[in-house]
Amino acid sequence: MGSKPTARRALIERFTKETKVQVSLSLDGGPLNFLPDHSEMSSVIPDQQVQHHASQDSPSQQIWIWTGVGFLDHMLHALAKHAGWSLRVRTSGDLAIDDHHTVEDTFLGLGGAFSRALGDRKGLRRFGDGHAPLDEALGRAVIDISSRPYFVGEFGFKDAKIGALTTQMIRKQSSEGREGEHSAKHSARKFALQTRISCARLLVLRRVRPDNQHNVSVELGIRE
């Protein structure tokens, strides 16, 4: 009989002055324990047994996301759903100031959990790419699990915010007002650094109907 496959799971807790982040991830889905209770977590965060806008519970997949930034919750829920992960994320951040630390530190925690759950990369297929077509846009993703982290993203956002999420946290415009080669200023780049994945073109979006920022960022981007 062959040996039982190692569970690809990880729990990350990242506490700083600005944020308190907990991430529990199973790359292969399935049941996932609740995040540990912690006194420093905000009291406004609902109990993990409560289902809400970014949660689902089934035998094959359990997802529960709460960051205080609703659109970020939605993005992470979509990412986990389409990736087949089970994922729990709980973030308490300094949202009274802005969403900067909350978004960035959540992606740092998620990237750390992904890297730890992935474990030894020996034997993994190094390169991958894919396309996702929607009514509004066509997306393409290319990644390299090379342990040499790098990120470039071209999103074409026009608005400063989508819901409560500042789009600059996902991309940075150049001084000419265009998204340049080194466009990932914060979260996506930090995720790539933590996962040690090289993303030469993580998201290249060809917009057919550019009026729907939601579908460009989530329904297309996350499916890639």
Q: d(Cα 49, Cα 193) in Å, to the nearest integer?
A: 32
CB-based contact 31:86 (threshold 8 Å): yes
Q: d(Cα 157, Cα 180) in Å, to the nearest integer?
A: 13
- Higher local confidence (pLDDT), 160 or 65: 65
Lowest mean pLDDT among 41-50, 98-107, 122-131, 149-158: 149-158
Question: Rounded mean pLDDT of 24-43?
Answer: 94
Question: Rounded mean pLDDT of 8-20?
Answer: 96
- On whether the pTM is more than 0.85, the answer is no
Q: d(Cα 121, Cα 124) in Å, to the nearest integer?
A: 6
| Domain span at 192 | 127-220
Last residue within a domain, chosen from 118, 152, 182: 118
pLDDT tens per residue across span 44-68: 999 999 999 999 999 999 999 999 9
Determine, yes or no, domain membership for 2: no
The angle, 0 to 180 degrees and rounded to 10, between the axes of the packed helices 70-83 and 100-118 is: 20
Looking at the fold, whether 26 and 76 belong to one and the same domain comes out as: yes
Q: Assess whether pLDDT exceeds 80 at residue 211.
A: no
Confidence category of residue 205, pLDDT binned at 50, 70, 90:
very low
Q: d(Cα 89, Cα 13) in Å, to the nearest integer?
A: 10
Looking at the fold, whether 132 and 101 belong to one and the same domain comes out as: no
What pLDDT shows up at residue 166? 87
Looking at the fold, whether 108 and 54 belong to one and the same domain comes out as: yes
Looking at the fold, whether 112 and 13 belong to one and the same domain comes out as: yes
Lowest mean pLDDT among 90-94, 155-159, 176-180, 194-198: 176-180
Last residue within a domain, chosen from 84, 118, 152: 118
pLDDT tens per residue across span 78-115: 999 989 999 999 999 999 999 999 999 999 999 999 99
Place of tokens 């989530």: 218
Determine, yes or no, domain membership for 3: no
Last residue within a domain, chosen from 99, 118, 137: 118
